[in-house]
Amino acid sequence: MHIADSTYRNTGHQVNRRLSRRYRNILSAGFISLFIFSGLSPVQAACDPALDSNNTALPNFTCLDTAEAAKLYANPTNYRIMRKGKRIGKHSIQFQQSTDAGADQLTVDVKSRIKVTILKVPVFSFNYQATEIWQNGALTKVMAETTENSKKTVVSATRQATEFVLQRGNTKESVTGLEHASNHWNPAALRSNSLFNTLSGKQNSVKVETIGKSLLDLPAGSIEATHFRYSGTLQAEVWYDNNGRWVQLRFKSDDGSIILYQLDERV
């Protein structure tokens, strides 16, 4: 028997279960899909002042509306997903502007694909796709489908008046105070204290802390960015460049390894 076959038979199924749990937590922490509800520059946008959890003023770019935020990105925009120095997947975002019944509509398609192997044998796969629909700057519907190995999960959030109806399978619940979900393309999410988790289909509470500016060495080049930390039900760190474009995400997996999503304009 080939050594890879032997190794997989002895450890593969156990590793698969561990990775399945691990990457579910990783991707939840990483906010795999985000749905969030400009003058001299988009950064100059005006809105009510907002403070982070330490009473530090959030940057002006958190005032960007959805249409202006979408203009910050190439179409599509791609990110590499890294673990222990190895590329394990790709994340992409694509935008489409249109008009529907007289309303300005923004459709955002988000996709992620992860594949983990041991001795070249696949032990974990994760495929994710979601669609966000915004009308006149407000989130109206989110649909997300996740296939983890062979298990498929479908969740949604649909606006009905001042509430959102969240659905996973046959389970429904109505919630209030929800304006954003869990990807990062629009920095306005930093102003929110709750997010729609597009993996679990639940509303999660979060806090945001401003860490400060840093220079990132990314595949897209050296980029100055502001560093923020999410805590609460979801935990992760995110970076935005000086215009408010999302450039990096970092979070810790169950085994202590660091997962990175990094802007990669070369692909």
pLDDT score for 11: 41
Total structural domains within the chain? 1
CA 64 to chain centre: 17
Closest CA relative to residue 204, chosen from 229, 227, 235, 228 = 235
232 forms beta bridges with: 206
The 10s digit of each residue's pLDDT in 28-87 is: 555 444 433 333 344 444 578 899 999 999 999 999 988 999 999 999 999 999 989 999
Calculate mean pLDDT across residues 91-95: 96
- Could you tell me the CA-to-CA distances from 247 to 19, 104, 111, 180, 253 in Å, in that order? 26, 27, 16, 19, 20
pLDDT tens readout for residues 135-175: 998 889 999 999 999 999 999 999 999 999 999 999 999 99
pTM for the full model? 0.81
Per the structure, the complete domain to which residue 20 belongs is given by 3-263
Annotate 35-51 with DSSP letters as a single string: EE---S-GGG------B
Q: Which helix (H) or strand (E) holds 210?
A: strand 203-218
Q: Which is nearest to 146 in space by CA: 110, 189, 104, 119?
A: 110
Specify the higher pLDDT residue, 226 or 21: 226
